[in-house]
Amino acid sequence: MPNVTVIGAQWGDEGKGKVVDWLASRADIVVRFQGGHNAGHTLVVGNQTYKLSLLPSGLVRGKLGIIGNGVVVDPEALLAEIERVRAQGLHVSPENLRVADNAILILPVHSAIDRAREVARGDRKIGTTGRGIGPAYEDKVARRAIRVCDLAEPETLDEKLDEVLLHHNTLLKGLGAETFEKQVLLDRLLELAPRILPYAEPVWERLDEARRAGKRILFEGAQAVMLDVDHGTYPFVTSSNTVAATAAAGSGVAPSTIGFVLGIAKAYCTRVGSGPFPSELHDATGRLLGERGFEFGTVTGRPRRCGWFDAALVRQAVKVGGIQGLALTKIDVLDGLAELKICTGYRIGGEVFRRLPAAPRAQAAAEPIYETMEGWSASTRGARNWAELPAQAVKYVRRLEELVEAPVTLLSNGPERDETILMRDPFEG
């Protein structure tokens, strides 16, 4: 049986948490492979709602969770999240959670520089969460980052903090922000070390053993393809690669290990923060989608911008992200709408495009080209198979498949686990 990699096919917040939770029942291990605690997955299980940022969603299913080397880890945030879900009755310990020993740590100085830069941008803010994700990835590339394994070596921490603070304190001073003292950071890291290190190991070895043993591995992405630092709406993107190929590099496995690539897309479209959004609605329909879909960021609490389904955007994500099948979520939010629109391309300066250009001014100028479809009055909630859906809802899904050039393999028609219609099990290939 193949493994499965789950990624977002829009700008994130597509409902990956529920889909990963649902798929985790078929998996043995669930792996986070990129991003940090700027991403959030909401899982509704009975009367419990779990809001996860760093923890792999499979933990809720009692599966082994792994945080890969491609994730940047804020140790304070990780420990706080563990304590929060434990208070909800979830078991989390080194027995069922492992963290890559070569994963990069986010320090308080990273969050400070993140926030100071955003303030300095003024009206040109990029919408960062201010949690230090970008600066931590910068340190990784600049080869000055502190990693989980460094917590076991006080001398290494001491030396690395000199270089980290030489860089960041200089920037903070130039931005008029408060600087950091080395000893304060060193003492705190040494205090955290015995609480973090029991979770640490070379996870690539465990994953290789699991692969050889025929275990099913589910790779869980954060954010989405259109927030990819290379392929997204740059510079309004996250600081890591979010495409499926990153699952291999971000967890230490061969590319062939990532298996079937499942893209998650809402039946409409949302975005949090700044950046282009051609199909965004600023009218009553946009507000209705937001209200019905409870569209608020899991991590930030910010209201999401809402709009019609952008098929051109998702088609681009399918091709760039390596998506082989789509999980379409929140189709129930469209129940009762008399008319639906689908963005099939863009008009920019009189020219028609079937993709979103890379240049930022062209992206900002993109005007959607819409195709209109009749909506449906009956509810999609309660449907447990394809035949029980309203006929017009089926037509809508079929049209989306044609436009994005990928099959819908799974349909979510509500927040509960059992409100899921499976057309093809991703673990069956």
* Residues involved in catalysis: 13, 41
Calculated CA dihedral for residues 375, 381, 385, 386, nearest 10 degrees: 0
The gap from C-alpha 275 to its chain's centroid, in whole angstroms, comes to 17
Q: Phi/psi of residue 131, each to 5°? A: -100, 10
Indicate the SS3 state at residue 402.
helix
Q: How many CB atoms lie within 10 A of CB 235?
A: 12
Q: How many CB atoms lie within 10 A of CB 181?
A: 11
Which helix (H) or strand (E) element contains residue 399?
A: helix 391-404
H helix or E strand, kind and range, residue 121: helix 108-121
For residue 353, give both structure tokens: 């495009």
Tell me the C-alpha distance between 197 and 73, whole Å.
13
| Residue 358 φ/ψ region, left for φ over 0, alpha for ψ in the -120 to 50 degree band, beta for the rest | alpha
What would the two tokens of residue 392 be? 């017009």
> Could you give the angle at the alpha carbon of 399 between the alpha carbons of 394 and 400, nearest 5°?
100
Cα gap 55→32, rounded to integer Å: 8
Find the largest Cα–Cα distance for the chain. 67
Dihedrals φ, ψ of 260, to 5°?
-75, 130
The structure tokens 């093809």 sit at 424
Beta bridge partners of 100: 201
